[in-house]
Amino acid sequence: MFQYFKKAKNYWISDASFGSLLIMLLFTVFVLPAMIESKGDTTIFLNIMFFLLFFVGIFSATEKGFLIASISMVTMHLLLRLIRFTDNPYEFYLLERIVIILNLLLLIFINMRLLFRDEEVNKYRVAGAINVYLLVALAGAFGFEYIHLSTGQSIGGDVILTGKDEDFGNYMYFSLVSTSTVGFGELYPVGMTARMLSVFLSVTGVLFPAIVIAKLVSLGSQKK
């Protein structure tokens, strides 16, 4: 068993793993929302994908502290998910969302460390930069959901929010248009907290590519 764990860990700290993670994120961010809208109850796929993403965080952690934090977050998420099947799930729904956000932030940090761990620049590192960008948007989606669940408002416009997992597509869409600064206008943030989160995502979406591209170009120049 330890041998398989070691092989998995060696893969997920390699550059090639950025490509695998990118495929997982593309499916989660772009395909799952469409599946939820067209097929209705597909939350099982949502749960599976997030547990896979969080297990990637465990295998990608190169330091003991991050490894312990990742395992703790995944364990808490699993327990909260199981508790939600009881008669009073809502009491744990907000806490579960907080754990998801923290886990995503940890995964972002771990991937950033892997992305710039040395002076290597290749196509996998570019995929790694895209992964971080998508993870930020993903964390933003759950941020908007948490705001809505805790305050009763976060996104307004041409959308009906139910307070359930099926809302993931709407939150993901709004987070993406905020991060990419597309802003079609049919949805808008409601309340100061949601507005500030939307602005933060927009600023991050503009600055992150510029900073990462500059860093990768700098590393490539130093290597030459």
What is d(CA 121, CA 128) in angstroms, rounded to the nearest whole number?
11
What is the CB-side half-sphere exposure of residue 37 using CA atoms within 13 A? 14
Residue 3 in this model has a pLDDT that exceeds 70? yes
Residue 178 in this model has a pLDDT that exceeds 70? yes
What average pLDDT score do residues 167-194 get?
A: 92
Name the residue among 168, 128, 124 with its Cα closest to residue 149.
Answer: 168
| DSSP helix/strand/coil, 124 | helix
pLDDT tens by residue, 41-80: 677 888 889 889 999 999 999 899 999 999 999 999 888 8
Residues with Cβ within 8 Å of 165's Cβ and at least 6 positions away in sequence, in order, are: 43, 46
Name the residue among 107, 14, 3 with its Cα closest to residue 52.
Answer: 107
**Rg of the chain's alpha carbons, rounded to an integer?**
18
Within a 10 A sphere around the Cβ of 118, how many other Cβ atoms?
A: 10
User: Where on the phi/psi map is residue 183: left (φ > 0), alpha (ψ -120 to 50), or beta?
Assistant: left
For residue 85, give both structure tokens.
């099947």
Domains of the chain: 2-223 (1.10.287.70)
